[in-house]
């Protein structure tokens, strides 16, 4: 791929053709990633080390932590951010290969339809991620986790485990839910903005 294609691709990703799309990029790229990268590490970075069960044995702690966290929240949210970026990245790669200028995307119906489809796909992926987050993490992190260790030790089946910094993790969960809702609202608003521009209610950039 030539340098011109790379430049067009990067400019398209950083400067979408809509005002709301540009705000979404700013919100998504800076606030959300900063929140996850910096605060997420501070809250969840040492969770496995401080997760303790009764009896406090390494194999019991490890077994119960894997049961408590089938996937760590940082990994899940990082995958969510990457996957949600894919539809827009594909569109802007297509636009770069076809030498489509950003200001021309909303002028031709085929380009506009393709772009709207990429935004709609982002909405679908965010909603799916929202549902998966509920299934994996719920809305609250309890201080005590009851672990089923029957497969590890026949002497007892259920043991109590202490979850470190459970209140901070609950706040972080709510924040990530809120970010998902905000990005979905921005995507819906972007489709509305595109529709208004196509109908002539707003001036096309």
Is 14 within a domain?
no
Query: What's the rounded Cα separation, in Å, for the pair 132 and 74?
Result: 14
Q: Which two tokens stand for residue 202?
A: 């707003």
Is 112 within a domain?
yes
Is 115 within a domain?
yes
- State residue 107's pLDDT score: 78
Per the structure, how many domains does the chain have? 1
Query: What's the rounded Cα separation, in Å, for the pair 133 and 126?
Result: 10
The CATH number of the domain where 91 resides is what? 1.20.1440.80
- State residue 9's pLDDT score: 47
The SS3 call for residue 52 is strand
Is 15 within a domain?
no
Domain that holds residue 96: 3-8+20-204
Q: State the 10-residue block means of pLDDT for the chain, 205 residues long.
A: 52 66 77 79 80 84 88 87 85 75 76 87 93 91 87 73 89 90 90 80 57
Is 28 within a domain?
yes
- State residue 5's pLDDT score: 46
pTM of the prediction? Answer: 0.82
- State residue 120's pLDDT score: 93
């Amino acid at each position: 791929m030539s340098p011109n294609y790379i430049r067009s691709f990067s400019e398209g990703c950083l400067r979408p053709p809509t005002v709301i799309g540009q705000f979404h990029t700013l919100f998504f790229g800076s606030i959300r990633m900063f929140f996850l990268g910096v605060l997420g590490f501070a809250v969840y970075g040492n969770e496995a080390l401080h997760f303790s069960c009764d009896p406090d044995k390494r194999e019991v702690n490890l077994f119960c932590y894997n049961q408590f966290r089938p996937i760590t929240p940082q990994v899940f949210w990082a995958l969510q951010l990457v996957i949600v970026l894919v539809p827009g990245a594909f569109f802007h790669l297509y636009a770069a290969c076809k030498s489509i200028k950003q200001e021309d995307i909303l002028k031709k119906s085929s380009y506009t339809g393709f772009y709207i489809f990429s935004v709609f796909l982002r909405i679908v992926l965010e909603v799916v991620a929202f549902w998966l987050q509920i299934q994996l993490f719920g809305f609250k992190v309890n201080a005590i986790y009851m672990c089923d260790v029957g497969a590890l030790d026949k002497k007892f089946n259920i043991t109590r485990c202490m979850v470190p910094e459970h209140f901070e993790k609950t706040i972080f969960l709510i924040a990530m839910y809120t970010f998902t809702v905000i990005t979905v609202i921005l995507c819906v608003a972007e489709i509305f903005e595109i529709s208004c521009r196509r109908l002539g209610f707003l001036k096309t950039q």
